[in-house]
Amino acid sequence: MAEDSRSELLSLSAYELAKKIEAREVSATEAARTANARVEEVEGDVNSFVTTTPQLALERAERVDARMKNGGIKLWESVPIAVKDVLSTKGVRTTCGSNILYNFEPLYDASALLNYGEDMIVVGKANCDEFAMGSSTENSAYGPSRNPWDLDRVPGGSSGGSASAVAAGEGWWALGTDTGGSVRQPAALCGIVGLKPTYGRVSRYGLIAFASSLDQIGPMTRDVRDSALLLQAIAGHDPRDSTSANVAVPDYLAELEGGVSGLRVGVVKELMGEGVQPGTRETVESVVRGLEGAGAEVGEVSLPHSRYGLPAYYIIAPAEVSSNLARFDGVRYGLRVPAAGVHEMYRKTREEGFGDEAKRRIMLGTYALSSGYYDAYYAQAQKVRTKIIEDFRDAFSRYDVLVSPTSPTVAFEIGSKINDPLAMYLSDICAVPVNLAGIPSISVPGGLSEGLPVGVQLMSDHFTEPTLLRAARATEQVSDFKFTLKP
Amino acid sequence: MQTQEKRTYQAVIGLEFHVHLATRTKMFCGCRVAYGDEPNTHTCPVCLGHPGALPFTNEKAVELGVMAGLALNCEVASRAVFARKNYFYPDLPKGYQISQFDAPICTGGYLDVPVPEGTVRVGITRVHLEEDAAKNVHVGESGRMHGSVGSLVDFNRGGTPLIEIVTEPDIPSPEAARATANHLKAILQAIGVSEADMEKGQLRCDANVSIRKPDGSFGIKTELKNMNSFRYVERGLTRELERQQGILEEGGRVTQATVHYDPVADEVHELRSKEEAHDYRYFPEPDLLPLELTAAWVQEIKSRLPELPEERKARFIKQYGLSEYDAGVLTADAELAGFYEKVAAEADPKQAANWTTGELQALLNEAGIGIPESKVEPGHLTELIRLVEKGTVSRSAAKDVLGFVFETGDAPSAVVEREGLASMGGDELSGTVDEVIVANPAEAGRVRDGDKKVIGFLVGQVMKATRGGADGGRVRQLLMEKLDGQ
Ligand SMILES: [Zn+2]
């Protein structure tokens, strides 16, 4: 295939590519080759992947093409994808960005991947902060990913590799996971769309847990329509995940172009003030004015407990992670550092296997759950969580969709925050309340500030993704941004 | 403890049972529950604790747990919460055990335990659901982790559904502790919650034990572990109480510790534990939703609950006219009760009870086995009772017959024939009586003269001559006839 037709393919959205393949104008195999070539070209710059899987992508693409001949496929199946390295892929190394799983090959595929299709054309396992803990991918044992908009800057995190892959065209879309902004914040920093579905909308079976009560798998895409299509591919009830909801999956594309006329949009007061960069605030305000112009009823809304979201999150998430990471003990899989006696083996394995941030959070969580401290920390944080849920319930009685910045700042420079955990944590201050409440939220590029993308965060009530996506589509239309491949 | 000491020192015992539930599959995955199979053949990503795998609750296990709670007169929670109990051990693949902590399925019940002096009411603190750990196999001479060459883990057992039953410290003696354990086991078996086979590890028992001092103050409790039979529960507790009392009498203080009972040496050993202050950091399991147990569902289970030992006991007293004690002994063991009912259906119920609780029970105890392992079938006992009734064998010879049946499993009639234990009847006995009269002319004369007191001597002589093979009443009757008629 000629160079220019490859670059033409690369300029398409996932939806457009899928339609082209459906119309037999191009094959899935050709799409896979194009993605692989693009990975070859830019991966040295962006480091989006822990493991690239060009051969697997080709084999699966050939199977997809064969199945198309014999009856057909689901629309999305022909689109090459990047998969965050915390999602289990059968027989394909899955590290979670950690040294402790440097050699781990799962026995099974995550349910969300199987929902997409057994022949999912995976171009690689995307880099991330270790066990999804971080906001820059600098906590990966496999080196930081780089923001395709500015290679000296972070792509955000923890799904930074997924974000940089999409922004750089290493696959047309990606899956990330979002525990406290880990899909939305890197999407914002890389100028793509990132959706965190309602907790329970997508099965967590096979998602290697960070914080079980907060984790959710989400689409990272070039535009809102792709986001709707990819959610369609992965959503659904799964009996293997007791927390997955037995709620019918609607057609997410059906209402997409419905517009925002009459839609009640509330701007969250507490998330527009202190700590938010002026350029970011102005971009959000400009998008809100655009929505108003498109017929939305805009007002201001208060989430009075949202400022306690971050502290509560940094109790609950580490508490769960301290328990979730206990299984990485060197006994059955992954890294084992031999030592005399089992306790010494545990100690050495975990000492060498985990990075600083993982250790920091294990210690935080262990402390928060300790007898004598449980009530003051974990139990108290759960009360705050309830207050935040009530805040949102109250807000959604008056508004259909809430708006805020996704991240208070644009992409920051690699190394600038890595030694200041609190500054790093503040990067997710707008995103975290959403996870605590379990509601869906999406980040849509709203424009540029200092030449870097700014994400606008939209939030809606549980299981109202169709409304959220419709508002996001309108946001995309009123914003001053158009997806173009970087670097 | 001696009676003398009971007045001054009082044992305070609470028991904790771990009971495998009789489900086909494991607590949180679809793997089969199996015993004695090739290691690691019943495993999956869930019970191996693989990354990303999630638990899903076995509904049958919840049902059986609730059944156990109902049988123990507990209150069933409308909302029960699974919790993680965090600790590191190679047999615990997730680094935590899914258990229940502050919201168990059942709380606040009791168990009325029959003891020789009457009944002891033992409070049930709670019943909660959890998963069992896997099994560590230590390679090397000692068979224990310490000093072993290496350790292997068999995950077949990992994830087996369990209930933990915790009693109040209401149990006054090691004997009562054993009776409590036996009674509980009988209940669990009767309602089909568990096979409760201790040898398969389906039922395990730990004890908390302390001594209330003469001034009424409570002592420090120790935890007694490693008791794999109820006999050891009793003996271990006895030894531990002796140990604690010895310390107190010497003016010392009991320290909180875990104690192991060594059945071979019949001794208890205090373990020096480095993990003294274990903090399990319990918190609600975020991978599982709380269990919502509706009143209607609980009621439905209650209506399906099979007959409990207490109910069975009441029925035995009424239906078979048994004494409180006999009915209690029979129903304390579900197998024994079932055996008895089969015998009682075909033979005189009182005789059936006498034989079952008397000679048969004695033989079982002596051999240290239960009814299922015994060669004696209900039909055997029925036949034996009939033979006695017909006078074919005497009561005393019948005991010997049962002994042979117990050993060989042969039918009583065959044993009687082979061993020549039949009562002498008709002509043969008459001949022996005649011989005794001839051999003892003086005594026979006195009977003829009306001195009936001497007849006992002659009966004894006949019994001696027949080696107990004759019925005493029949002999007396024959003697009277012969001596009166002349
Ligand atoms: Zn299993």
Predicted confidence (pLDDT) per residue in B367-381, tens digit: 888 888 899 999 999
The answer to whether A246 faces chain B, any CB pair under 8 Å, is: no
Measure B195 CA to nearest chain A CA, in Å.
29
Measure A241 CA to nearest chain B CA, in Å.
6
> Which range among A278-287, B436-445, B467-476 shows the weakest confidence by mean pLDDT?
B467-476
**Residue B446, strand partner residues:** none
Q: What is the pLDDT of residue B1?
A: 43
Question: How would residue B280 be classed by pLDDT, with cut points 50, 70 and 90?
Answer: very high
pLDDT, mean of residues A107-120: 98
Measure A424 CA to nearest chain B CA, in Å.
26
Q: What is the pLDDT of residue A233?
A: 98
Share of chain A above pLDDT 90, in %: 95
Q: What is the pLDDT of residue B276?
A: 55
B243 is written with which tokens? 């140990």
pLDDT of residue B485 exceeding 80, the answer is no
Tell me the pLDDT of chain B averaged across its residues: 89
DSSP string, B408-457: H---HHHHHHHHT-PPP-HHHHHHHHHHHHHH-HHHHHHHHTT-GGGHHH
Q: What is the pLDDT of residue B331?
A: 86
pLDDT, mean of residues B123-152: 82
Same domain membership, residue B318 and residue B253: no
> Which range among A95-99, A142-146, B211-215, B276-280 shows the weakest confidence by mean pLDDT?
B276-280
Task: Please name the residue of chain B whose CA is at the shortest distance from the CA of residue A204.
Answer: B52
Q: Which residues contact B10 (CB under 8 A, 6 or more apart)?
A: B172, B211, B212
Q: Of the residues B404, B419, B434, which one is the last residue of a structural domain?
A: B419
Q: Which residues contact B276 (CB under 8 A, 6 or more apart)?
A: none
B361 is written with which tokens? 């029970």
Q: What is the pLDDT of residue B3?
A: 46
pLDDT, mean of residues A35-54: 98
**Residue A299, strand partner residues:** A266
Q: What is the pLDDT of residue B148?
A: 64
The answer to whether A338 faces chain B, any CB pair under 8 Å, is: no
Q: What is the pLDDT of residue B328?
A: 86
* Domain A264-305+388-478 in this protein, CATH class: alpha beta
- Distance, CA A94 to ligand 1 centroid (Å)? 21
Q: How far from the centroid of its chain's Cα atoms is residue B322's Cα?
A: 21
**Residue B131, strand partner residues:** B161
Structural contact between residues B75 and B108, judged by C-beta atoms closer than 8 angstroms: yes
Q: What is the pLDDT of residue B145?
A: 58
Q: Do A327 and B51 touch (CB under 8 A)?
A: yes
Same domain membership, residue B231 and residue B173: yes
Q: What is the pLDDT of residue B391?
A: 77
Q: What is the pLDDT of residue A2?
A: 65
Structural contact between residues B156 and B49, judged by C-beta atoms closer than 8 angstroms: no
- Distance, CA B475 to ligand 1 centroid (Å)? 71
pLDDT of residue A45 exceeding 60, the answer is yes
Higher pLDDT, A215 or B483: A215
Same domain membership, residue B353 and residue B440: no
CATH of A3-234, one of 3.40.50.300, 3.40.50.1240, 3.40.50.2000, 3.90.1300.10: 3.90.1300.10
Same domain membership, residue B225 and residue B204: yes
CATH 3.90.1300.10 domain extents, chain A: 3-234
- Strands A81-84 and A122-126, by their bridges, are parallel
pLDDT of residue B348 exceeding 70, the answer is yes
For residue A326, give the nearest of B45, B53, B86 by CB distance: B86
Share of chain B above pLDDT 90, in %: 60
pLDDT, mean of residues B312-337: 89
Q: What is the pLDDT of residue B227?
A: 81
A407 is written with which tokens? 């991240």
B81 is written with which tokens? 């919460």
Same domain membership, residue B332 and residue B286: no
pLDDT, mean of residues A45-63: 98
Catalytic pick from A140, A158, A306, A443? A158
Same domain membership, residue B317 and residue B285: no
A107 contacts in chain B (CB < 8 Å): 45, 50
State whether residue A311 is helix, strand or coil: helix
pLDDT of residue A300 exceeding 50, the answer is yes
Q: What is the pLDDT of residue B416?
A: 85
Measure B59 CA to nearest chain A CA, in Å.
12
CATH 3.40.190 domain extents, chain A: 264-305+388-478
pLDDT of residue B4 exceeding 50, the answer is no
Which letter does DSSP use for residue A101 in this model? G
Q: Do A242 and B51 touch (CB under 8 A)?
A: no
pLDDT of residue A383 exceeding 90, the answer is yes
Q: What is the pLDDT of residue B486?
A: 44
Q: Do A323 and B50 touch (CB under 8 A)?
A: no
Share of chain A above pLDDT 70, in %: 99
Higher pLDDT, A390 or B449: A390
The answer to whether A240 faces chain B, any CB pair under 8 Å, is: yes
Q: Is the ipTM of this complex over 0.85?
A: yes
Same domain membership, residue B313 and residue B295: no
pLDDT of residue A147 exceeding 90, the answer is yes
| Chain B positions touching chain A (beta carbons under 8 Å) | 45, 48-57, 84, 86, 88, 90, 93-96, 145, 151, 153, 279, 281-283, 286-289
pLDDT, mean of residues B267-272: 85
pLDDT of residue A359 exceeding 90, the answer is yes
Q: Of the residues B378, B398, B419, which one is the last residue of a structural domain?
A: B419
pLDDT of residue B104 exceeding 80, the answer is yes
Cα–Cα distance for residue pair A406/A429, rounded to 1 Å:
9
The answer to whether A209 faces chain B, any CB pair under 8 Å, is: yes
Q: Do B49 and A322 touch (CB under 8 A)?
A: no
A158 is catalytic: yes
B127 is written with which tokens? 């019943």
A74 is catalytic: no
Residue A123 sits at φ, ψ, to 5 deg, of -85, -20
Taking the CA atoms of residue A444, residue A449, residue A451 and residue A457 in that order, the dihedral angle to the nearest 10 degrees is -10
pLDDT of residue A377 exceeding 90, the answer is yes
Same domain membership, residue B442 and residue B386: no
Domain holding B440, by residue range, is 426-485
Task: Please name the residue of chain A whose CA is at the shortest distance from the CA of residue B87.
Answer: A326
DSSP string, B292-319: E--HHHHHHHHHHPPPPHHHHHHHHHHH
> Which range among A178-187, A262-271, B469-478 shows the weakest confidence by mean pLDDT?
B469-478
The answer to whether A241 faces chain B, any CB pair under 8 Å, is: yes
Higher pLDDT, B462 or A86: A86
A5 is catalytic: no
- Distance, CA B101 to ligand 1 centroid (Å)? 23
Q: Do B283 and A319 touch (CB under 8 A)?
A: yes
Q: Do A331 and B153 touch (CB under 8 A)?
A: yes
Structural contact between residues A134 and A161, judged by C-beta atoms closer than 8 angstroms: no
- Strands B222-227 and B258-262, by their bridges, are parallel
The answer to whether A296 faces chain B, any CB pair under 8 Å, is: no
Same domain membership, residue B138 and residue B61: yes
Q: What is the pLDDT of residue B469?
A: 74
Higher pLDDT, A200 or B484: A200
Cα–Cα distance for residue pair A280/A449, rounded to 1 Å:
7
pLDDT, mean of residues B22-36: 96
> Which range among A21-30, A354-363, B212-221 shows the weakest confidence by mean pLDDT?
B212-221
Q: pLDDT tens-digit profile of A401-419?
A: 999 999 999 999 999 999 9
CA atoms within 13 A on the CB side of B207: 35
pLDDT of residue B424 exceeding 70, the answer is no
Q: Which of residues 81-120 of A touch B (CB under 8 A)?
A: 87-88, 94, 96, 101, 104, 106-108, 110
Buried b (16+ CB within 10 A) or exposed e, B409-430: eebbbebbeeeebbbbeeeebe
Same domain membership, residue B368 and residue B291: no
Higher pLDDT, B320 or B469: B320
Task: Please name the residue of chain A whose CA is at the shortest distance from the CA of residue B48.
Answer: A332
Same domain membership, residue B118 and residue B16: yes
Catalytic pick from A48, A182, A244, A479? A182
Measure A273 CA to nearest chain B CA, in Å.
33
pLDDT of residue B209 exceeding 90, the answer is yes
Catalytic pick from A84, A125, A196, A486? A84
Query: Could you tell me the CATH number of the domain that includes residue B477?
Result: 1.10.10
Same domain membership, residue B204 and residue B263: yes
pLDDT, mean of residues A38-49: 98
Higher pLDDT, B472 or A288: A288
For residue A326, give the nearest of B96, B279, B282 by CB distance: B96
Number of domains in chain B: 3
pLDDT, mean of residues A231-259: 97
Q: Do A327 and B45 touch (CB under 8 A)?
A: no
Q: Of the residues B370, B392, B419, which one is the last residue of a structural domain?
A: B419
Q: What is the pLDDT of residue B309?
A: 79
Q: What is the reported pTM?
A: 0.86
pLDDT of residue B147 exceeding 80, the answer is no
